[in-house]
Amino acid sequence: MPDSTISNSPLPGLYIVATPIGNLGDISARAASVLARADLIAAEDTRVTAKLLSHLGLRVPMTPYHDHSDERTRAALVAQMADKVVVLVSDAGTPLISDPGYKLVRDARAAGRLVITLPGPCAAIAAITLSGLPSDRFLFAGFLPSKAKARADTIAEFAGLRASLVFYESGPRLGASLAALAGGLGNRDAAVAREITKLYEECVTGPLAELAARYAEATPKGEIVIVVAPPADGVAEEADDATIDTALRAALAEQPVAKAAKEVAKRFGRDRHDLYARALTLKGGE
Ligand code: SAM
């Protein structure tokens, strides 16, 4: 695929443009150049994108776009790509990554339009680089469900995966999500990366149970990515009694006592009968 953005006037088509996740200095020269020469910008929220355009000193026509925009809106955009430079942006970061765009790209491809991506900031990738956790294999899991049962089920799907796990999260849900992760995955190492590229950027690392305790009461402000290390290879995970209790509580929310005790005992190499007794105590205390 030739790079039409190198020439003076980009060819007509769809341009997927990543924008900063905080620090406006992270806009790439190529992204700024394509935005400047766009005929139309399809934006998740035109008010947010207007601020970026104003920072770049640009005035470009915009139209709102979401994946739940109706078929007609999408078809009209795809039609315009035949002879216009249509740029897709989201509020921040890389479009399509927990953001709108997939259906527009799908339909643009189906219609044979030129599709070009301009890569750039992405909070998931930035967090992986900050975390100090294995980066050779990772799964981007987006946002966890907010309801406890759906969240535990989703976490259980990832438990056996030999890869780091990356989740997007918000401050008010952070403590509950970390506790659920500790319960479902064991006390793995993890990182909470917050406000990346912004003034109060921080990356707090530690075992999941420790992070869950830290954020149980203190709700942090701003935008957050959680990164969790892969499971330790083939050996039962080490865990203190508090972690065992967290895992038992999570398992008890889903299963009968005997099954919950068996599962947690296997994961942590503990005695099944001991954990059965402990599970009964925890259940009795509810
Ligand atoms: N498309 C974006 C990207 O490429 O990262 C993600 C959009 S998603 C709707 C927004 C979520 O990304 C936030 O809730 C947060 O979990 C994460 N995020 C975005 N900016 C961030 C930042 N500066 N620091 C930490 N997390 C961020």
Q: Which residue range is the domain that position 72 belongs to?
A: 4-121
Q: Identify whether residues 53 and 161 lie together within a single domain.
A: no
Distance 205 CA to ligand 1 centre (A): 19
- pLDDT computed for residue 244 by the predictor: 85
**Ligand 1 test: best mutation among 98, 131, 170, most atoms within 8 Å of CB?**
98
**Which residues, 6+ apart, have CB-to-CB distance to 193 below 8 Å?**
123, 126, 127, 130, 131, 202, 203, 224, 225, 226, 227
Q: Is residue 234 in a domain?
A: no
Atom of ligand 1 nearest to the CA of 197: 23
Among candidate residues 121, 144, 161, the one where a domain is terminated? 121
Structural contact between residues 190 and 228, judged by C-beta atoms closer than 8 angstroms? yes
Distance 93 CA to ligand 1 centre (A): 7
CA torsion 240→245→250→252, rounded to 10°? 140
State how beta strands 40-43 and 85-89 pair.
Answer: parallel
Distance 227 CA to ligand 1 centre (A): 13
Distance 61 CA to ligand 1 centre (A): 25
**CA-CA distance, 196 to 23, in Å (whole number)?**
9
Q: Identify whether residues 186 and 271 lie together within a single domain.
A: no
Higher-pLDDT residue of 167 and 6 is 167
Structural contact between residues 169 and 224, judged by C-beta atoms closer than 8 angstroms? yes
Atom of ligand 1 nearest to the CA of 125: 5
**Which residues, 6+ apart, have CB-to-CB distance to 127 below 8 Å?**
166, 191, 193, 196, 203, 225, 226, 227
Q: Looking at residue 141, which CATH number applies to its domain?
A: 3.30.950.10
Q: Looking at residue 58, which CATH number applies to its domain?
A: 3.40.1010.10
**CA-CA distance, 100 to 66, in Å (whole number)?**
5
**CA-CA distance, 196 to 198, in Å (whole number)?**
5
Q: Is residue 61 in a domain?
A: yes
Atom of ligand 1 nearest to the CA of 169: 16
- pLDDT computed for residue 4 by the predictor: 56
**Per mean pLDDT, which range of 129-133, 184-188, 189-193, 252-256 is the poorest?**
252-256
- pLDDT computed for residue 5 by the predictor: 56
Q: Which of 65, 139, 140 is nearest to 103 (CA)?
A: 65
Q: Is residue 161 in a domain?
A: yes
Give me the residue label for tokens 């991506």.
117
Higher-pLDDT residue of 285 and 87 is 87
Q: Is residue 235 in a domain?
A: no
pLDDT band at 120 (very low <50, low <70, confident <90, very high): very high
pLDDT band at 85 (very low <50, low <70, confident <90, very high): very high
Q: Identify whether residues 30 and 117 lie together within a single domain.
A: yes
* Number of helices followed by number of strands (H, E) in the chain: 11, 10
Distance 110 CA to ligand 1 centre (A): 29
Q: Identify whether residues 190 and 245 lie together within a single domain.
A: no
Instruction: Name all residues whose Cβ lies below 6 A of ligand 1.
Output: 21-22, 90, 92-94, 97-99, 122-124, 168-170, 193-198, 223-225
Structural contact between residues 106 and 6, judged by C-beta atoms closer than 8 angstroms? no
- pLDDT computed for residue 83 by the predictor: 98
Among candidate residues 121, 142, 173, the one where a domain is terminated? 121
Q: Total structural domains in the chain?
A: 3
Distance 128 CA to ligand 1 centre (A): 13
Q: Residue 24 corresponds to which tokens in the numbers above?
A: 């406006």
Distance 117 CA to ligand 1 centre (A): 19
**CA-CA distance, 182 to 215, in Å (whole number)?**
13
Among candidate residues 180, 205, 228, the one where a domain is terminated? 228
**CA-CA distance, 115 to 203, in Å (whole number)?**
35
Q: Identify whether residues 112 and 128 lie together within a single domain.
A: no
Q: Is residue 188 in a domain?
A: yes
Q: Which of 119, 130, 126, 65 is nearest to 94 (CA)?
A: 119
Q: Identify whether residues 133 and 91 lie together within a single domain.
A: no
**Mean pLDDT of all residues in the chain?**
93
Q: What is the helix (H) or strand (E) element at residue 35, kind and residue range?
A: helix 29-36
Say if residue 229's pLDDT is above 80. yes
Atom of ligand 1 nearest to the CA of 95: 1
Handedness of CA 180, 185, 187, 188 (dihedral sign): negative
Distance 224 CA to ligand 1 centre (A): 7
Q: Is residue 233 in a domain?
A: no
Q: Identify whether residues 248 and 194 lie together within a single domain.
A: no
Atom of ligand 1 nearest to the CA of 121: 4
Q: Is residue 236 in a domain?
A: no
Q: Identify whether residues 9 and 112 lie together within a single domain.
A: yes
Atom of ligand 1 nearest to the CA of 94: 4
Q: Identify whether residues 199 and 174 lie together within a single domain.
A: yes
**Ligand 1 test: best mutation among 49, 97, 168, 203, most atoms within 8 Å of CB?**
168
C-alpha neighbours within 13 Å on the C-beta side of residue 267? 26
Nearest protein CA to atom 13 of ligand 1, as residue: 223
**CA-CA distance, 206 to 258, in Å (whole number)?**
31
Q: Identify whether residues 74 and 141 lie together within a single domain.
A: no
Q: Identify whether residues 94 and 133 lie together within a single domain.
A: no
Mean pLDDT of 111-117: 98
Q: Identify whether residues 166 and 191 lie together within a single domain.
A: yes
Nearest protein CA to atom 8 of ligand 1, as residue: 98
Q: Is residue 147 in a domain?
A: yes
